[in-house]
């Protein structure tokens, strides 16, 4: 249709990797499982930042040149704060969902508009990444057939995954919310993991970061928006999400701000830090699901000590990098 590879990468690829989350959340909503709906969206966002960016940065330091990625990070933080504010009354109403959907429409239009001002190098990066997918001119009907088949299999797979996750939760004594925050969230985020790792290996680091950030924005605005709007019942927000899930998701999103703006680079030690935080997050969820005496103290330490200290360390690194940059610029001017 004549759409540039850059726009395809910013919209279809980024949103397409979130289609499993959408299918799972809609299926769970229709089956009256709001814990899986909320747990899947929030858990996927935490998994995307801490695990996927962590693994990608360990493979190769992620250098971000694309200004869209740098601008998307504040938008991602804003969507987290907006969802948190909407959830304070304990429900995600239809008006809230409509506002979220309006946000994804505005965001997509803005991204397409801004992409026209990107550099030729960034456009070439996306064109090179998508080149293996287009080996010859596709036949329209064949591609439409693949789209329909993919959607059908995605919906079926989502239903099977929700049913399997619920059975696992009940047989092992785990809460459905915990399963949504961990197993379902990680499973539905596998496309983002594969895309970001392959992009990092090929040296397309903007795509590795942009895919994660774009998917996180889509998870909140589109997935929770569609789910809340078309769910047969009001989506309730569990107390655990208000006290732990939303604060952690917002904190890890904030942690991206100094990382991306610090020489526009995510180094290996920052990737290792992200992975360590994700392991601590999963440990807490396991302890909480078992009603362990150490769950509450461990959660308090994470929220009030570990995550703030990690953000502080990243912020200090950001300030130092800015000071070094200014010093180098002053030397060049002299």
Contact in structure between 12 and 24 (CB atoms under 8 Å): no
Contact in structure between 21 and 216 (CB atoms under 8 Å): no
The pLDDT assigned to 44 comes to 92
Domains, in order of start, for the chain: 5-333 (1.20.1420.30)
For tokens 């701000």, the residue is: 257
Using the predicted structure, report yes or no on whether residue 259 has a pLDDT greater than 70.
no
Contact in structure between 277 and 252 (CB atoms under 8 Å): yes
Contact in structure between 28 and 37 (CB atoms under 8 Å): yes
Q: What is the pLDDT of residues 51-69, one digit of tens each?
A: 999 999 898 888 776 666 6
The pLDDT assigned to 111 comes to 82
Using the predicted structure, report yes or no on whether residue 160 has a pLDDT greater than 70.
yes
User: What value does the mean pLDDT take over residues 273-288?
Assistant: 84
- Cα 27 to chain centroid distance, Å, stands at 20
């Amino acid at each position: 249709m004549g759409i540039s590879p850059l726009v395809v990468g910013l919209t279809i690829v980024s949103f397409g990797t979130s289609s499993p989350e959408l299918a799972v959340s809609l299926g769970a909503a229709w089956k009256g499982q709001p814990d899986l709906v909320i747990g899947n969206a929030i858990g996927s966002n935490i998994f995307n930042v801490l695990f996927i960016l962590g693994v990608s940065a360990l493979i190769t330091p992620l250098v971000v040149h694309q200004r869209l990625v740098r601008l998307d990070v504040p938008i991602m933080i804003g969507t987290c704060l907006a969802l948190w504010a909407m959830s304070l009354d304990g429900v995600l109403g239809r008006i809230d969902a409509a506002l979220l959907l309006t946000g994804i429409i505005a965001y997509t239009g803005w991204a397409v508009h801004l992409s026209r001002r990107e550099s030729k190098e960034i456009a070439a990066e996306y064109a090179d990444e998508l080149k293996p997918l287009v080996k010859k001119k596709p036949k329209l009907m064949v591609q439409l057939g693949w789209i329909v088949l993919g959607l059908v299999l995605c919906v079926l797979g989502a239903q099977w995954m929700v049913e399997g996750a619920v059975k696992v939760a009940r047989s092992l004594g785990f809460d459905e919310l915990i399963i949504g925050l961990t197993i379902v969230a990680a499973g539905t985020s596998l496309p983002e993991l594969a895309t970001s790792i392959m992009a990092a290996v090929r040296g397309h680091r903007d795509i590795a970061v942009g895919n994660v950030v774009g998917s996180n924005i889509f998870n909140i605005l589109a997935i929770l928006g569609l789910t809340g709007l078309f769910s047969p019942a009001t989506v309730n927000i569990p107390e655990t999400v208000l006290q732990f899930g939303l604060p952690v998701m917002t904190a890890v999103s904030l942690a991206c701000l100094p990382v991306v703006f610090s020489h526009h680079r995510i180094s290996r030690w920052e990737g290792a830090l992200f992975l360590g935080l994700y392991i601590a997050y999963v440990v807490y969820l396991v302890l909480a699901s078992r009603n362990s005496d150490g769950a509450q103290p461990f959660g308090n330490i994470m929220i009030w000590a570990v995550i703030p200290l990690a953000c502080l360390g990243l912020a200090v690194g950001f300030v130092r990098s800015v000071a070094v940059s200014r010093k180098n610029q002053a030397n060049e001017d002299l």
